[in-house]
Structure formats: C-alpha cells, structure tokens
Amino acid sequence: MSNRNMYLVTVPAGFESEAKEEIRGLAPNACVRNLFFKGNLLVECPRSVDLSSIAETNETVYVGKIFPIDKVVKISKSRESIAYIHDEIVQLDKLRKGERFVVRCRRRGKHEFTSQDVERELGSMLEKSCGALADLRNPQKIVTVQIFQNKALIGVSEASKIVEKKIKVFKKYKHGERPLTRAEHKIREAIKIFGLEIKRDFRVLDLGAAPGGWTKVLASLAGKVVAVDPADLNSSVKALPNVTYLKCKAEEIPKNIGRFDLIVNDMNLDPSESARIMVNLAGFLKKGAPALMTIKFVTRNRKKHIAEALEILKAEYKDFKVKRLPHNRYETTVFMRKA
Ligand SMILES: C[S@@+](CC[C@H](N)C(=O)[O-])C[C@H]1O[C@@H](n2cnc3c(N)ncnc32)[C@H](O)[C@@H]1O
C-alpha cells in the first residue's frame, strides 16, 4: 500500500494557482499538481493527512469536489478499458460482499464509451465479481472513475469521503479589470523575477503578440512597442498610441525596422524553431540588451526542449536564466542578453 493519500480535487478553471495555494494551506506537506485538463488538481498527502475531512471542516474558496483516489491506471480509448478498470478495482480489495455501492464516472477526452457505459457496465461487473450490491440511492461506498484521456484515476471510498464544497469565486476580475490573457500575468512575473528594467525610452519588439496581453503591459512601461503576429491583436491594444502592429510572421519582419532595447517572444512554436528566429533577429537588438522567450513544452521531454533551445540561442545570446514562472503552464521562461 502506498504511504501517500491521493485525491483528485476539482477547482474553478483559471484559478488553479490560487487553489494550489489554498490546498497547501490546508495540508502543508501536500504535493499538488495540475492535470492536463483545466480545473483539476492531483493532490498527494502523507498517509496521516485526510484532505477530505480537513477541507470539510475548514473554510475554502477554490476547492470544489474532492475524490479520494487509490490508483492511476493507463487506459485506451477502446471499450475494453472498462473491463481493465474493473480488474484494477477488484485488485484494490476494498469492496466487500453485500456492501451497497455506486460507480460514479466522469470522462474527459475521446473514447469509444461514455461515462454512463462505465457506470452501468462496471457496476454490474462489480456486483458479479465482489458480490457487492449496486445502490444508486443509499450507497455505503463510491467507486470513483475519473478519466483524463488515457489515464483513469480510480478509487473506492466511504461515501462520506467524497466531499463537495461550494466554490466561492466565479469571476476573477471586476468589470473592465480582466486581463486580456493569462499571459499578462506571465510578463509581469518575468519582469519582476528577472529584475528586468524597462525604461520609458525603450523600443520593444514583441513576437507572437496576439491577442496582446504582453503588448499591453509593455506599452505601459516602454516608449514604443512593435507587436508582431499574423493573428489579430485586440483592438484596444492596437489603438494604444505607442503600439505599432505588424500583422505578419516574425520571419517576415522588414529589415529596416530599426533597433530595439528589448525583444520578447511568446510565439507558440517548437522551441528550436522559436530559438532560431531569435537568433536571426538578434541583429535588431542592441549589444547587451535583454531578451525574453517562453519555451513551449510541445512534448513531455522538457529538459530536451530547454537544452536544444539554449544550444541554438548561444550563437547570439548570453547570461541565460531559465525559470518556470507561476503562470507558466506547459512552458518555461528564459531571460538572456544579446552577446
Ligand atoms: C501564446 S500566444 C501569445 C500571447 C501573447 N503573448 C499575449 O500576451 O497575448 C502565441 C502567439 O504566437 C503567434 N505565432 C505563432 N507563430 C508565429 C510566428 N512565426 N510569428 C509570429 N507570431 C507567431 C500565434 O499567432 C499566437 O498569437
């Protein structure tokens, strides 16, 4: 048996960072991770910590439902996964003969079966294999099956351990205060964490600028921002007097565009490709001037993406600092200077 308690916690999408902090406040030794689908966190606590009870007895804002999880198993999209999940649940040996139970499934992703198929088929399989009694109205135990594409989080717990709390936030910002993108937080974090000084007379080149979160923040600090993106820049950002919008790819920037005091790059490209563009555009940047780039983790091999990008960037840049910022999701941020 694992020496950790595992939970799936649902939280309001977009508030994952705040929810993580809240959960760490409730269970200080908890390890809290984002799942690939927004609004879902996987929490691991020491065996002695019962997150369901703690969350139930404490005031919370971001915690929604809490499902105790016994195991995470790999599944395919085929219907055979239901029998496989059944076998895994039987192996847990937590459902006894005569116990009243219900299967609750939530499925995310594409599969050849529905959540209802899982609830129905798994329910009747477990009745046969464990001698337990399916009871939708008054179950003693809940069999949880939470599917995230090729992962099934499974658990068998007392019904009272599935906690459902009222989420107390719905809107993050007051009318008019909402950032254009989560990216706005990212650029603010990067400026702070890397100690980036942006002066009033700076000319900034913003690559992959749309919809315009970074441009908006940069335009409030610098003298001039040239925002480059084939996608549309938000009209309110486009209208800012010190923003020039080039509706083109970074590879198509005109040669006579002038020199810059800062280049930032949030293009959603393969990191090596993005790094090559940074190298090709380095001539626009003054010597020693700073640059920022997000490295998008297009695969799970994060270290490889960082290493490959830095290897390419080395041709024109130096003083690298790599930092995963709180608002970086499937990416990390690199600070560097023109060599
Ligand atoms: C994550 S979004 C950028 C968000 C932006 N930083 C903000 O604050 O709103 C990535 C952008 O990169 C742009 N992009 C992708 N390839 C590009 C290229 N070769 N040149 C310029 N922009 C590119 C996409 O059109 C997309 O708008």
* 271-281 pLDDT tens trace: 999 999 999 99
Residue 169 lies in a domain: no
Whole-number percent of the chain with pLDDT over 70: 96
Cβ partners under 8 Å of residue 107, min gap 6: 113, 114, 115, 118, 147
Region 81-100 average pLDDT: 97
Are 327 and 249 members of one domain?
yes
Across the beta sheet with 163-164, the strand order is 31-34, 40-46, 4-10, 65-69, 163-164
Compute φ and ψ for 21, nearest 5 degrees: -60, -40
Are 39 and 150 members of one domain?
yes
Q: Is the pLDDT of residue 176 over 80?
A: no
The CATH number of the domain where 219 resides is what? 3.40.50.150
Residue 213 Cβ < 6 Å to ligand 1: yes
Pocket test for ligand 1, best of 226, 232, 268 (most atoms within 8 A of CB): 268
In the predicted model, what is the mean pLDDT of the chain?
A: 93
Query: Which of 135, 164, 193 is the endpoint of a domain?
Result: 164
The CATH number of the domain where 132 resides is what? 3.30.2130.30
Are 47 and 120 members of one domain?
yes
Tell me the CA–centroid distance for residue 203 and ligand 1, in Å: 19
Are 188 and 151 members of one domain?
no
CA nearest ligand 1 atom 22, residue? 208
Q: How far apart are the first and last CA of the chain?
A: 54
Per-residue model confidence as pLDDT tens digits over 220-279: 999 999 999 999 999 999 999 999 999 999 999 999 999 999 999 999 999 999 999 999
Residue 331 Cβ < 6 Å to ligand 1: no
Query: Which of 137, 164, 191 is the endpoint of a domain?
Result: 164
Q: Is the pLDDT of residue 9 over 70?
A: yes
Task: Please tell me the least confidently modeled range out of 145-159, 185-199, 260-274, 319-333.
Answer: 319-333
Question: Which is it for the CA torsion 46, 52, 55, 58, positive or negative?
Answer: negative
Are 214 and 259 members of one domain?
yes
Are 138 and 189 members of one domain?
no
Tell me the CA–centroid distance for residue 293 and ligand 1, in Å: 12
Ligand 1 atom at minimal distance to the Cα of residue 277: 19
Number of domains in the chain: 2
Q: Is the pLDDT of residue 3 over 80?
A: no
Ligand 1 atom at minimal distance to the Cα of residue 181: 9
Task: Please tell me the least confidently modeled range out of 174-178, 211-215, 237-241, 286-290.
Answer: 174-178
Are 139 and 232 members of one domain?
no
Are 24 and 151 members of one domain?
yes
Please name which of 269, 263, 267, 274 lies closest in space to residue 309, comparing C-alpha atoms.
274
Pocket test for ligand 1, best of 267, 273, 330 (most atoms within 8 A of CB): 267
Are 158 and 212 members of one domain?
no
Residue 170 lies in a domain: no
Cβ partners under 8 Å of residue 335, min gap 6: 190, 194, 196, 290, 291, 292, 319, 320, 321, 322, 323
Residue 178 lies in a domain: no
Residue 211 lies in a domain: yes
CA nearest ligand 1 atom 27, residue? 210
On the question of a cis peptide bond just before residue 211, with omega within 30 degrees of 0, the verdict is: yes
User: CA 126 to CA 290: how far, in whole Å?
Assistant: 61
Per-residue model confidence as pLDDT tens digits over 145-171: 999 999 999 999 999 999 999 988 765
- Tokens 């023109």 — which residue? 338
Indicate the residue type of 305: H
Higher pLDDT, 29 or 179: 29
In terms of residue numbers, what domain contains 138? 4-164
Task: Please tell me the least confidently modeled range out of 15-19, 90-94, 174-178, 232-236.
Answer: 174-178
The tokens describing 321, both together, are 């600092």
- Indicate the DSSP class of residue 285: B
Tell me the CA–centroid distance for residue 208 and ligand 1, in Å: 3
Task: Please tell me the least confidently modeled range out of 125-129, 144-148, 325-329.
Answer: 325-329
Residue 172 lies in a domain: no
Residue 212 Cβ < 6 Å to ligand 1: yes
The predicted pLDDT at position 14 comes to 80
Residue 290 Cβ < 6 Å to ligand 1: no
Cβ partners under 8 Å of residue 133, min gap 6: 98, 99, 100, 101, 127
Across the beta sheet with 262-265, the strand order is 243-246, 224-228, 203-207, 262-265, 290-296, 331-338, 317-323
CA nearest ligand 1 atom 13, residue? 208
Residue 83 Cβ < 6 Å to ligand 1: no
Confidence of residue 183 (pLDDT cuts 50, 70, 90): confident
Residue 174 lies in a domain: no
Are 124 and 60 members of one domain?
yes
Residue 219 Cβ < 6 Å to ligand 1: no
Tell me the CA–centroid distance for residue 210 and ligand 1, in Å: 6
Region 283-296 average pLDDT: 96
Residue 97 lies in a domain: yes
The predicted pLDDT at position 38 comes to 87
Are 154 and 289 members of one domain?
no
Residue 231 Cβ < 6 Å to ligand 1: yes
Residue 208 lies in a domain: yes
pTM value is 0.56
The predicted pLDDT at position 171 comes to 55
